[in-house]
Amino acid sequence: LAKTTQPISMDSYEGQEVNITCSHNNIATNDYITWYQQFPSQGPRFIIQGYKTKVTNEVASLFIPADRKSSTLSLPRVSLSDTAVYYCLVGGYNFNKFYFGSGTKLNVKP
């Protein structure tokens, strides 16, 4: 089971870049890395997904080193509205292995 390890919490200030690193030492060859965001009283929301190197969309960037044993979610210039819990998941098509874990609680301060 490709479980992940993330920091429990992080603090940042508005306008800063935030990097959240996730460790997944047991990642399998066909596993993708996926990140979700969850606000209080809402279901998680898909942010970004990648397999290797770098992926960027309008919300975030995802950096994956060659060995794929870790990944970093980068949020550029965060605002107060980015305060949320961020989950890193690894998994392929077998959803039994799609493990959410406890996530990283990001607190953005003014």
Partner 1 sequence: DVKVTQSSRYLVKRTGEKVFLECVQDMDHENMFWYRQDPGLGLRLIYFSYDVKMKEKGDIPEGYSVSREKKERFSLILESASTNQTSMYLCASSSGTAPREQYFGPGTRLTVT
User: Exactly one of 2, 16, 98, 105 binds partner 1 (CB under 8 A); which one?
Assistant: 98
d(CA 67, CA 53): 10
Written as six digits, the tokens of 2 are 């490709």
Taking CB under 8 A as the rule, which mask of x and - marks residues 4-33 in contact with partner 1? ----------------------------x-
Nearest CA-CA partner of 4 in 72, 74, 75: 72
The verdict on 102 binding partner 1 (CB under 8 A) reads yes
Q: Is position 63 an interface residue for partner 1 (rule: CB under 8 A)?
A: no
Question: What CA–CA distance (Å, rounded) separates 22 from 35?
Answer: 10
45 binds partner 1 (CB under 8 A): yes
Chain CA centroid to CA 35, Å = 4
- If one asks whether residue 40 binds partner 1 (CB under 8 A), the answer comes out as no
Q: Which is nearer to partner 1, 21 or 38 (CB)?
A: 38
